[in-house]
Structure 1
Amino acid sequence: MYIQLIGQQPRIEWKCFMFKNDPSGKAIFTMWLQFQNRLLTGYRLSSWGMDVGNTCVFCQGHDESRDHLFAECSFSRNVWSRLLMWLRGRPYKAMTWQQHFTWAMRNAKGRTVEARIFRVVYAETIHGV
């Protein structure tokens, strides 16, 4: 009866990050906000009418949005590149949010030790940025 009441819901792509992940609760919550595009970035706050600076605090060159902060900013690309070199030695090549999201999903899926470590590092890095 419950299944019929809720109906068919679309499948959540990023659920592999939320379950069986070991980072802190704050990091999990921040990552959830990021996937939902609900982080309180400068761009989002200014769209609500708040008088805040909406330029990126890292590069000072673009609006501070989720897409820019985690995929397009030169600072965050440098962070991801260094973390990947530390983890596996592979270069980070994502230039847009969709490429970043696809890259993260590809590395986080699975039950391997590498996937578990990636999920923890990804969540804590999102929280740190």
Structure 2
Amino acid sequence: MGTIFHQASWVIKKILKATKYVEHIGLREADLVTWEQFSIKAIYMKLSGEFQRVPWRRLVCNNGGAPRWLFILFLAIWGKILTRDRLPKRGCTENTSCALCDDSKESCGHLFFTCSFSVQVWNKLLLWQGIPRTALNWQ
């Protein structure tokens, strides 16, 4: 008998706790009763709120790449990769020239797309994939 009472009180506590979340998204108990089908997804979407979708979302989300690749991609998109143009602000180095070509200031855009070494890599990859164009810039 004590176990059943304990389980019932636990369920009631959970229901009462969930009530505050339902009220937070602007629903009432009467609204939930009228639903023909309860949808966890609908509640989740209301709780998460509206957000603006970014154009690069599919590059990072649902991507089959290794987690470290996705992390580097995420850092690059937000401009947070510690390239040599950013390191002097942290007091790490004075040298801002590219480590690969030593011709230009090393930035994310230069390192991945306009460096002579990177352009060669991109052109070979595009050729290998049968894409008839040259490498583009970061933008």
TM-score normalised over the length of structure 2 = 0.60
Equivalent in 109, 119, 132 of residue 67 of structure 1: 109
**What fraction of aligned residue pairs are identical, expressed as a percent?**
32
Equivalent in 16, 20, 28 of residue 70 of structure 2: 28
> C-alpha displacement at 1:36, in angstroms?
0.8
| 2:52 matched residue in structure 1 | 10
> Which of structures 1 and 2 has the larger relative contact order (alpha carbons within 8 angstroms, sep 6+)?
1
Distance 1:3 1:72, change over 3 A: same
> C-alpha displacement at 1:19, in angstroms?
2.0
Q: CA RMSD in A?
A: 2.1
Size of the aligned set, in residue pairs, is 97
The equivalences for 1:1-129 within 5 A come to: 1=25, 8-94=50-136, 96-98=137-139
Q: Residue 92 of structure 1: SS of its match in structure 2?
A: coil
Distance 1:52 1:24, change over 3 A: farther
Letter in 2 for 1:33: L
Task: Mark the structure with the bigger radius of gyration.
Answer: 2
Deviations 1:65-85 (A, max 9, x none): 101111211111111110011
> C-alpha displacement at 1:52, in angstroms?
4.7
Deviations 1:11-40 (A, max 9, x none): 211111112211211111111111111001
4+ runs deviating over 3 angstroms: 2-10
